Structure 1
Amino acid sequence: MNALKLDKLFYQLKKTDDISGLNIQIETKIPEAMPDFGKLPIFEEIDKQYVRRLEACLKSAYQSAGMFGFVSWKWVNPFVDWIDDKRCLEIMAGRGWLTYALKQKGVNVVGTDNYSWFGSDLWNVPLTDILALDAVDAVRTYGKDIDLLICSWPWLDQTMYQVAKLLSEINPSARIVYIGEGWGGLTADDHFHQHFKEIKDDVFEMRVKSKYEQWDMHQDHMMLGRFI
């Protein structure tokens, strides 16, 4: 079910206990934006706890469908404009939601993931062509010929540090778009955060980064930078 139609689904709820019975099936299409749960005309009084339960239900459905960082046209469209003709590589792409969106807009992007980090069969059914390469091998194979390395919600281990370091050695001019949490968060390790330096880019910050959407209680955001 598309996120933009969820207000109609939630409008049918008669009491808060009905939330636990929702079975939301996520369509394989990119939503325009994350729903604003505070504006859904469901009950006369909507308390914050109720709104959080609604959002948690939808977040769980999207994550079960392979989308951790929320991919929407609200920020992908300006991201596409900013990318322009840059050659892109996405590592740890999962089911490929972001690669799928970028390809729809004509971006020159290669998506990669070997799915070694996740056991669900769902993740082996990508939305677009995802090459079966782990992150390090992907950078070894394509890193010399790219302008931009993209990674969303990398695993909490040394992989992101390893690929960023390798990219800096084989293609120092390439930049990294990192989507995830910062120091002490749930993505990448402290070695990566210690060596990742953000690059000042006013257009990226004003038109892309500012449009990125997070779930409630998540601290992920977009950063443009390089390994130092």
Structure 2
Amino acid sequence: MDRPCSQLLHQLHQVIMAYTQKQLPNVILSNLEINAQDLIRLIANNEFLTQASIFEKTTYINQLAHFLENFRQYIQKRFGIWAMINQPMMDQWVQQFPQQRYLEIMAGNASLSAALAQRDQKVIATDNGSWAAWSQTSRNCWFPVQKLDARQAVQKYGAESDVILLAWSPDGDPIDWQILQLIRQLPNQPQFWIIGEYQGATNSALFWQRAHFKYDQRIHNINQYYPHFDLVKDRLLMVR
């Protein structure tokens, strides 16, 4: 098989195997988008499906392109993971911000909290479990999750947290703006970090309109290990 294509498939296999074992992948995914030149090079490769006809090769390539295009959706459906963080990113995270006290709200299966706890960070993960109604993956938590909705969690633990985390808040749901208002009222003024796509696949329009974003070189350094691999351009953001 074409070497770049083979390397890409190996990366995807590593990601799937890691998530199957409730671990973050140790690989930073390459761009999964395939262009016309990639397809032409693959079809013309004499080592690619040597016994197959042009029709069979084309069918295979179409199936491959479809899988790559929908890889994020496959991971979401099979593992309940939306923020596809990785080991190098989390290593950089705790290097840039050592010894923080984290509260994760709407944590889902808590893969982010688990990664922080494995790196000796103090973490409380919370979620009201509402997503269990449409995803069986909610039964496979990576880390203990307290059953609290986002507002309850901020009211209970916000005052003792350095950072409140929210990864992939649902698109169009104003809960993110409600939470930001609660956080702004806390006397200890914890930081609010989100993982999301600006005015894209995550969060509400009201949140994007009302939130103030703070540039921090350390956050930028973390995002260098969280590059975009498909059409979604999510990243770690510091919000005020």
Could you say which TM-score interval applies, normalised by the shorter chain? 0.7 to 0.9
Query: How has the CA–CA distance of structure 1 residues 200 and 102 changed in structure 2, closer, same or farther, with 3 Å as cutoff?
Result: same
User: Could you tell me whether the CA contact under 8 Å between 1:26 and 1:61 is conserved in 2?
Assistant: no
Report which of the two structures shows the higher radius of gyration computed on alpha carbons: 2
Aligned to 2:26: 32
Are the equivalent residues in 1 in contact too, given 2:31–2:228 (CA < 8 A)? Answer: no
CA contact (8 A) 1:52 1:216 kept: no
Give the alignment partner of residue 183 of structure 2, picking from 163, 167, 170: 167
**How far is the alpha carbon of 1:9 from its aligned partner?**
8.7
Structure 2, unpaired ranges of 5+: 1-6, 33-38, 44-60
2:207 paired with 1:196: no
Q: Structure 1 residue 37: deviation in Å?
A: 6.5
Correspondences of 1:45-84 after superposition (within 5 Å): 45-46=41-42, 52-56=65-69, 58-63=71-76, 64-84=78-98
* Equivalent residue runs for 1:69-148 within 5 Å: 69-119=83-133, 120-148=135-163
| 201 and 53 in structure 1: CA distance in 2 versus 1, 3 angstrom threshold | same
> Are 1:7 and 2:10 matched, yes or no?
yes
Moved more, 47-56 or 68-77: 47-56
1:52 Cα deviation (Å)?
4.0
User: 1:187, CA displacement in angstroms?
Assistant: 1.3
Residues 56-96 of structure 1: CA deviation (Å, up to 9, x unaligned): 45423321201111110121111112221111111111111
In structure 2, what is the Cα distance between the partners aligned to 1:158 and 1:202? 28
* 1:181 maps to 2:184: no
Q: What's the TM-score once normalised by structure 2's chain length?
A: 0.75
User: Counterpart amino acid of 1:69?
Assistant: A
Q: Which one has the bigger helix percentage?
A: 2
Residue 223 of structure 2 aligns with which residue? 209
Total equivalences in the alignment: 205
Q: Structure 2 CA distance, aligned partners of 1:9 and 1:218?
A: 17
Q: Given residue 179 of structure 1, which amino acid in structure 2 is its aligned partner?
A: I
2:236 match:
222
Q: Secondary structure at the match of 1:61?
A: helix
RMSD: 2.9
Distance 1:53 1:105, change over 3 A: same
Q: In structure 1, what is the Cα distance between the partners aligned to 2:68 and 2:130?
A: 29
Equivalents in 1 of 2:8, 2:117: separation in Å? 25
* Paired residue type of 1:45: R
The residue matched to 2:154 in structure 1 has which SS? helix
- CA distance 1:9–1:224, change in 2 (3 Å): closer
Per the alignment, in what secondary structure is the counterpart of residue 88 of structure 1? Answer: strand
Structure 1 unpaired stretches of 5+? 11-23
Give the residue type in structure 2 aligned to 1:27. Answer: Q
Q: Secondary structure at the match of 2:27?
A: coil
Q: Secondary structure at the match of 1:211?
A: coil
Code of the residue aligned with 2:75 in structure 1: it is Y
After TM superposition, the score normalised by the length of structure 1 is 0.78
The whole-number CA distance in structure 1 between the counterparts of 2:31 and 2:222 is 23
Rounded to whole Å, the distance in 2 between the matches of 1:9 and 1:192 is 33
CA contact (8 A) 2:25 2:86 kept: yes
2:129 & 2:224 partners in 1: Cα distance? 30
